[in-house]
Amino acid sequence: MSAFWETDEHRAFREQVRRFTAEQIVPQIDAWEADGELPLSLHEQAADVGLLGVGFPEAYGGLETPDSFYPLIVIDELCRAGSGGLIASLLSLGIGLPPIVALGSDALKRRVLPDVLAGRKVSALAITEPSGGSDVANLKTHARRDGDHYVLNGSKTFITSGMRAHWVTVAARTGDAGMQGISLFAVPGDAPGLGRTSLDKMGWRCSDTATLYFEDCRVPADCLIGQENAGFLGIMRNFNGERLALAAQAVGLAQCAYDEALDWARQRETFGRPLSQRQVIRHKLVDMLTAIASQRAHLNELAWRCEQGEAPIAELCMLKNGATAMLEQVAGEAVQILGGAGYLRGCRSERIFRETKVLSIGGGASEVMKDLAARQLGL
- pLDDT for 131 equals 81
pLDDT bucket at 2, cuts 50 / 70 / 90? low
Residues of the chain with CATH 2.40.110.10: 123-229
Tell me if 25 sits within 8 A of 91, measured CB to CB.
no
Tell me if 327 sits within 8 A of 291, measured CB to CB.
no
DSSP E strands, the chain: 123-126, 142-146, 149-160, 167-173, 182-188, 194-198, 209-220, 224-225, 269-270, 273-274
Q: Which residues pair with 143 in a beta bridge?
A: 152
pTM above 0.85, yes or no: yes
CB burial of 337-361 (b: ≥16 within 10 Å; e: otherwise) equals bbeeebeeeebbbbbbbbbbebbbe
Rounded to 5 degrees, φ, ψ at 293 are -60, -40
pLDDT bucket at 236, cuts 50 / 70 / 90? confident
pLDDT bucket at 203, cuts 50 / 70 / 90? very high
The CATH number of 233-376 is 1.20.140.10
The CATH number of 8-117 is 1.10.540.10
Rounded to 5 degrees, φ, ψ at 377 are -85, 0
Tell me if 140 sits within 8 A of 173, measured CB to CB.
yes
Among candidate residues 242, 260, 315, 355, the one labeled active-site is 242
Class level of CATH domain 123-229: mainly beta
Residues of the chain with CATH 1.10.540.10: 8-117
Within 10 A of 138 (CB to CB), how many other CB atoms are there? 13
User: Active-site residue 242, yes or no?
Assistant: yes
Q: Residue 206 is inside which H or E element, if any? A: none
Q: What gap in Å lies between CA 113 and CA 100, rounded to an integer?
A: 9
Q: Mind listing the pLDDT tens digit for each residue in 58-95?
A: 999 999 888 889 999 999 999 999 999 999 999 999 99
- pLDDT for 221 equals 96
Residues of the chain with CATH 1.20.140.10: 233-376
Q: Percent of the chain beyond pLDDT 90?
A: 85
CA distances from 347 to 29, 207, 359 (A): 11, 18, 19
Q: What gap in Å lies between CA 77 and CA 118, rounded to an integer?
A: 20
Q: What gap in Å lies between CA 138 and CA 62, rounded to an integer?
A: 34
Mean pLDDT score across all residues of the chain: 94
pLDDT bucket at 179, cuts 50 / 70 / 90? confident
- pLDDT for 237 equals 81
Q: Which residue has the higher pLDDT, 132 or 96?
A: 96
Cα R_g (the chain), whole angstroms: 21
Q: Mind listing the pLDDT tens digit for each residue in 311-367?
A: 999 999 999 999 999 999 999 999 999 999 999 988 999 999 999 999 999 888 999
Q: Report which residue type is found at 148.
A: D
pLDDT at 171 over 80: yes
Q: Which residue has the higher pLDDT, 273 or 215?
A: 215
- pLDDT for 303 equals 94
- pLDDT for 1 equals 59
Tell me if 110 sits within 8 A of 100, measured CB to CB.
no
- pLDDT for 272 equals 82
Instruction: State the helix-helix crossing angle for 279-307 and 231-267, rounded to 10 degrees.
Output: 150
